[in-house]
Structure 1
Amino acid sequence: MTINCDLCKLLANPPDDVLLWRDDRLAVILVDEPGYPGYVRVVWHRHVREMTDLPPADRAHVMQAVWAVEEAQRATMSPHKVNLASFGNMTPHVHWHVIPRYTDDAHFPNPTWGAKQREHDHAAVAARAALLPALRAAIIENLK
């Protein structure tokens, strides 16, 4: 653990409603991003800066988890598109963002951190948030 890393701190004691799944190498966590229910991060436990710092088998393990999350999102939330991203510019710790996107979300077609295109459709966001228990169950099932 690196003391100044937000992800290391989160993984040390994740709230039950945030932690969707974990094994001895990584965790799948729900991100509280207003307007984007189902936004998930796949986070490597150890503080590692780049994917290529991991042995090939561990890289494959990360990506299998990312794909399992994407499949669960597609099956339960029916997004128009799923965005996958690994940045780490602000938090240099291996992690992937897996974000279900919809043509009516506030930023579409821009990235979620880009210019807002419209206000959130609160009814659509609430309907998507209601799918979170099913998403959690599908992620767990996909990662067994």
Structure 2
Amino acid sequence: MTHGPRGSCELCERDGGLLVWRSDKLRVIRAVGDAQSTDHPGFYRVIWNAHVAEWTDLAPADRSHLMQAVAKVETVLREALQPTKVNLASLGNVVPHLHWHVIARFDWDARWPAPVWAPALRHVPDAASRLAVPLDVLDAQVASALQAG
């Protein structure tokens, strides 16, 4: 699939995962349906709704708004799951539409301590069952934190 202004963009065409919360400017999804999301069930993306590729394409106020949302998702993950670490990433090499990955990491996860995109180092069956709260409860907590402003 091509991306950007001349082609189609999967984050313009689709939510990009399980929609957890949406506002006029951004949305938060939980990653589903791939090895990273199965192995790392606390894997969220904060996605800017309008198609922009780079961080500095946003006005300073919008950059602040986006990072506040990233921080709220991270805070919920830290409080609810007590992860070993939370990874934040904004790459855009594959999908050049501005979005942040917010990923709860655990010393027991399939790729720890490597990045989530590295080959798995171990098999962790049903990783979601190891979380302190069920994913639907976690999603509701993320949505509540974002709705609270």
- TM-score interval w.r.t. the shorter chain? 0.7 to 0.9
Percent identity between matched residues is 45
**How far has the Cα of 1:131 moved from its partner?**
2.0
Superposition pairs for residues 28-107 of structure 1, below 5 Å?
Answer: 28-32=28-32, 33-107=37-111
Q: Structure 1: state its 5+ residue gaps.
A: none
Q: Does 1:142 align with 2:145?
A: yes
The change in CA–CA distance for 1:119 and 1:125 in structure 2 (over 3 A counts) is same
TM-score with structure 1 setting the length: 0.88
Q: Structure 2: state its 5+ residue gaps.
A: none
TM-score with structure 2 setting the length: 0.85
**C-alpha separation in 1, matches of 2:68 and 2:12:** 21
Question: Letter of the aligned partner of 2:30 in structure 1?
Answer: L
**C-alpha separation in 1, matches of 2:143 and 2:47:** 15
The change in CA–CA distance for 1:97 and 1:19 in structure 2 (over 3 A counts) is same
Q: What is the SS of the residue equivalent to 1:97?
A: strand
CA contact (8 A) 1:37 1:129 kept: no
Q: What is the SS of the residue equivalent to 1:105?
A: coil
Aligned Cα root-mean-square deviation (Å): 1.9
**C-alpha separation in 2, matches of 1:42 and 1:129:** 22
Q: Deviations over 1:85-128 (max 9, x none)?
A: 000001110000000000010100000111322111x2543232
Partner of 1:9: 13
**C-alpha separation in 1, matches of 2:60 and 2:79:** 28
> How many residues are aligned here?
139
